[in-house]
Structure 1
Amino acid sequence: MHIDAAASNTAPQDDRFVLRNGIRCAGTHLIIDLYGARKLDDIDHIETVLRDCVTASGATLLHIHLHHFEPNGGVSGVAVLAESHISIHSWPENRYAALDVFMCGAAEPEACIPVLREAFKPTRIAVSEILRGQGV
């Protein structure tokens, strides 16, 4: 059964789209590169950091899955969120990590940046922002 929200007395369901910088979009996707970072081979530390990012951003954690690679000790994984995800891929031998932080709704992905800075102590952070789903 299809109900036309305009024809009914009820409000349409929240589609979790957001208004960012005056643009309606599905969410904000941050591409984050950490250079000169520490503890990128410590899977327990990385899990704690992902949980701290979820809390700081106001997101809702559904599941975390991390994989520890040998022999370099790199970690790849994802925190699956009701609002989307946070992923990490680390190369501890190069002191480099690549993260994606994609969130919709009221979550604040940029709140992850200070958490990452404190947890991994990088010498440099590069952040690119993409507004996903513009014009939908």
Structure 2
Amino acid sequence: MKTLGRHLIAEFYKCNADTLNDRELIEKLMSQAAVEMGATIVGVTFHHFSPQGVSGSVVIAESHLSIHTWPESGYVAVDIFTCGGLNPRHGFQLLGAGLEAQSARFQEIVRGLPEDTANLSELHPLMPSDIDIITKEAEEIPLTPPSVA
């Protein structure tokens, strides 16, 4: 069984502060992004913090989308993890437009077993964007047990 997935870790900057503090609007933007990517929504939960900020998740049959907003800084952190043929970069672009982001960046991680993910990046070329995107490849860092002193 193949275990392929794409995990986009995104940051949006200089976003509309009123949007970032509106729980209902953030939920709508995230749900729309999921649907427009072709995902099947199976659950949604969002929370407004006092005095400001929203966090939430959209659970999809193909994995999840999550968001955390900081209206006071115009900053948003988003994860979009998809399995199958869904393209998380489409969701990234939709969210950037909805959040009125002045700039954004993301890192995409190919998830799954090494034999299943070896050629995945070749299957999904970069998409053009109207958003200033900075991309960088995830570094593979070997895990070593901590030294015992």
Shorter-chain-normalised TM-score: which range? 0.7 to 0.9
> 8 Å contact 2:40–2:61 — kept in the other structure?
yes
Q: Per the alignment, in what secondary structure is the counterpart of residue 58 of structure 1?
A: coil
Residue 96 of structure 2 is matched in structure 1 by: 117
- Cα distance in 1 for partners of 2:79, 2:92 equals 11
Which has more radius of gyration?
1
Q: Which residue of 1 aligns with 2:21?
A: 41
Q: How many residues align?
A: 113
**What is the aligned partner in structure 2 of residue 104 from structure 1?**
83
Q: Which has the higher contact order (CA 8 A, sep 6+)?
A: 1
2:100 alignment partner AA? K
Whichever structure has more strand as a proportion of its residues is 1
Contiguous gaps of at least 5 residues in structure 2? 116-149
Partner of 2:20, secondary structure, is coil
In the aligned structure 2, how far is the partner of 1:101 from the partner of 1:49? 13
CA distance in structure 2 between the aligned counterparts of 1:89 and 1:114, rounded to whole angstroms: 17
Q: Which structure features the higher share of helix residues?
A: 2
Deviation readout 1:10-47 (Å, 9 max, x if unpaired) = xxxxx5x4xxxxxxx52000001000011110111101
Describe how 1:87-102 pairs up with structure 2 within 5 A. Answer: 87-102=66-81
Paired with 2:60 and 2:15, the residues of 1 have a C-alpha distance of 25
Kept after mapping to 2: 8 A contact 1:58/1:106:
no
Unaligned runs of 5+ in 1: 1-14, 18-24
> Structure 1 length normalisation: TM-score?
0.78
Cα shift at 1:134: 3.4
Q: Which residue of 1 aligns with 2:125?
A: none
* 1:55 pairs with 2:35: yes
Q: Aligned residue for 1:27? A: 5
CA displacement at 1:105 relative to structure 2:
0.9
Alignment RMSD (CA, Å): 1.3
Distance in 1, Cα, partners of 2:113 & 2:71:
35
